[in-house]
A = this chain, B = another copy of it.
């Protein structure tokens, strides 16, 4: 009798144990069902915890919903499209308000994507996006004239590297969707201004803005270890933005190779800088400043590198292990309830994050990463 009871017990316990084991399997290898489940949990938590800096149309939401777009593009799961349409409807398809500020059109990446995928008559409204882009590109502004004088020496439209995520992918996608290459040309013009000002060819990284570009003076900002300050999320904006751009840019566009080369160069540098545990620190050249992985920058890198592998721009054998390591580490930053922690707060330079620090754009970065990791060959 003992044996029979014991047998039943053991059978049940075994079933139970299997589910335990499955969980751990989900995180040590790329179990696609587990990745999808994790992404949905991240979405659900974020939707239940709306947050923004200034408005639901601001750049923080723009970055988040760009992540939702990419999750939908890969999985076609309507849970993402429902969230996309819901925000667009309640935002009334508006951009945020500062027409000459790249941040305020980031949300349009989601609007254009919805427009490309939902053909119901009278639902999508891309007029506000068009109006923003035209004012952004063609209206005169002190920023474009080089006459603005402030402590940051802003003399160009996209004077901070984050801007390369906020506006260029939108212009690129809008050009594709509306078949108007002029938006791509304008994008390139302004992109080059930023590249010329902020790209550090030696380090193959972007300074956040002119305050971080060394001028050979004693006042040059530097880390305690004497190195230049390169912000992880700032470079994540650029590299993630490059993958977004390349994904929709015509391969025969005359400047395609510029973006491709820049992407490859930065990708190689980012790979080189990846810490042992898979997640990048907020200060790329001074990882010891805040000795922990940070999710928003790392999420954008993971997205960008995985995208490169999936699209054969990067060497699969070299980059895949790095991407897997990064994803597994990212996934460990997700709380049981779905929240994505270890996200550096809104800022402009390396600052620490914590287990509990979250932001919508961090969730966006996580979704972007997952969307490409899902496509890796196992």
Interface presence of A142 (CB below 8 A) = no
- Name the B residues within 8 Å of A52 (CB-CB): 85-86, 89
Query: Does B9 contact A9, Cβ atoms closer than 8 Å?
Result: yes
Chain B residues contacting A6 (CB-CB under 8 Å) are: 3, 6, 9-10
Within 8 A of B (CB), among A36-56: 44, 47-56
A10 to B11, CA, bound (A): 7
Q: How far is the CB of A12 from chain B (nearest CB, A)?
A: 5
User: Which of A14-22, A208-216, A234-242, A294-302 lies at the interface with chain B?
Assistant: A14-22
Pick from B5, B44, B120: contact of A4, CB below 8 A: B5
A11 to chain B, nearest CB (A): 5
Q: Does A79 contact B (CB under 8 A)?
A: yes
Q: A50-B82, A50-B86, A51-B86 are in contact. Are A12 and B3 (CB under 8 A)?
A: no
Measured in the bound complex, the distance between the Cα atoms of B14 and A10 in whole Å is 8
Are B3 and A2 closer than 8 Å at their CB atoms?
Answer: yes
Q: Which residue of B lies closest to A345 (CB)?
A: B78
Q: For the complex formed by this chain, how many copies does it contain in all? A: 3
Residue of B nearest to A16 (CB): B16
Do the beta carbons of A5 and B7 come within 8 Å of each other? yes
Given contacts A2-B3, A15-B16, A15-B18, contact A78 B51 (CB under 8 A): yes
Min Cβ gap A6→B in Å is 7
Nearest B residue (CB) for A82:
B51
Query: Would B5 and A5 count as touching, CB distance under 8 A?
Result: no
Q: Which of A13, A15, A82 has the most CB of B within 10 A?
A: A13
Q: Give the complex CA separation of A17 and B77 in angstroms.
A: 32
* B residues in contact with A54, CB < 8 Å: 120, 122-123
Cα–Cα distance between A1 and B16 once the two chains are bound (Å): 22
Q: A32 CB to closest chain B CB, in angstroms?
A: 15
**Which residues of B sit under 8 angstroms from A85, Cβ to Cβ?**
51-52
B residues near A10, Cβ cutoff 8 Å:
6-7, 9-11, 14
Contacts of A79 in B (CB 8 A): 49
- Interchain nearest-CB distance for A286 vs B (Å): 26
Q: Chain B contacts of A358 at CB under 8 A?
A: 78
Closest to A48 in B: B48
- Pairwise interchain contact B14-A55, C-beta atoms closer than 8 A: no
Nearest B residue to A51 via CB reads: B82
User: Given A17-B12, A48-B47, is A56 in contact with B7 using a C-beta cutoff of 8 Å?
Assistant: no
Contact string against B for A residues 141-181, beta-carbon threshold 8 Å, 1 for contact and 0 otherwise? 00000000000000000000000000000000000000000
- Nearest B residue to A45 via CB reads B44
Minimum CB–CB distance for A349 against chain B, Å: 18
Give 18 A-B contacts (CB < 8 Å), ordered by A residue: A3-B5, A3-B6, A4-B5, A6-B9, A10-B10, A10-B11, A12-B17, A13-B13, A13-B16, A44-B49, A47-B49, A49-B82, A49-B83, A51-B78, A51-B86, A53-B120, A56-B89, A78-B358
